[in-house]
Structures are given as structure tokens and as C-alpha cells.
Copies of this chain bind each other. A is one copy, B any other.
Amino acid sequence: MDEKDIRILTAIARDGTASPDEIENATGIPKSTVHYRLNQLREAGVIENDLYDINLEKVGLSITLISEIWAEFGEGYHDTVGEKLAAVEGVNQVYFTMGDTDFVVIAHLANREMVETLVEDYESIDEIERTSSKFVITTVKDEQNPLNDFDVETLVTALAD
């Protein structure tokens, strides 16, 4: 993958569309090039289906961290701290929970420098009092569409009016 590939993939992610025209608009890369590159990325398995789902391992974001975050308790703190966490680069999911942790955060990163940057970004958020991060050895499952987590009949029973 080179810079062009990354700009194309990012444009798809930003705009929620894979239309070559829009990608050309967003990146300045001619749409014929866009078309050619997308085919290559698809063949390499970086892009996984018609919906342009990303293969994390292949795109190079091969490190996953699960962090527990405790913040200074106070009125409305879960909103303000939650937003600051969500804005940290690499942070993919932020959950405010009812158990003995305030936030559970999942981040995908490319290398060790990014791990150190993430830790420093957490340190720079004033309200945070403590963090504890687990390194993921194996991602057994990370399904992009939650509907795939169910048998279709279960969904019909649970969700249909």
C-alpha cells in the first residue's frame, strides 16, 4: 500500500461511499486510477466485499488495545471525558459502563510508537485518574455488521414489530 491507496481508503471511510467520482473530488486522484487501485486492494484482501469493509490486519492496523479508564467522578463527567476519549487518534470504540470501570475503550494501532502516543494522549486528559490497558493477542472475532451475529429467525422474533 502506498499513499494513494491510503487516501482512497480514507475517502471511502469519510464519505460512506465508494463512488469513484466522489473519491476523485475528495482526493484529487483521477477516477480511473481510483478504479484500478480499488481492484488491486480488493484482490489483496484489504477491501473485503462490495461494501468496502476493511481488513484490519491487511491494512496494517495490527495492534489492538482494550483500555479501562477511570476518571474523576463529578457531575456530567461521563459526557466530557467520553468525548475527549473519542477524539484520541486510534480510538475506535468508547463505552461508558455501569460496572467498576468508567470507560472501556478499544483502539487499533499500527506500531509501538502509536502505542506510546496513545498512552501520552490519555495522560494529557486532565480528568483521567488511571488507565489499564490489555494487549490483544488474538482477535477471534470482530464482525463489522452486528446482524451477522444472529440467526435471521432470532432477529425476526426479536426485532419485528
Contacts and interface: CB of A to CB of B under 8 A. Distances in A.
A60 B158 contact: yes
Oligomer: number of copies: 8
A123 B17 contact: no
Q: By DSSP majority rule, is chain A's interface helix, strand, loop, or mixed? A: mixed
Contacts of A73: 123, 128-131
Interface residues of A, number: 103
A147 B59 contact: yes
B158 A56 contact: no
Given A137-B96, A140-B83, A141-B93, A74 B147 contact: no
A147 B54 contact: yes
A96 B120 CA distance: 13
B136 A97 contact: yes
B152 A10 contact: yes
Interface string A141-152: 111111111111
A125 to B, nearest CB: 9
Given A93-B139, A99-B100, 7 more contacts: A16-B48, A66-B104, A78-B137, A95-B136, A98-B132, A98-B137, A110-B158
Interface of A: 1-3, 5-7, 9-10, 12-19, 48-54, 56, 59-62, 64-66, 68, 70, 73-78, 82-83, 85-86, 89-101, 103-104, 106-108, 110-112, 114-116, 119-120, 123-124, 128-152, 154-156, 158-161
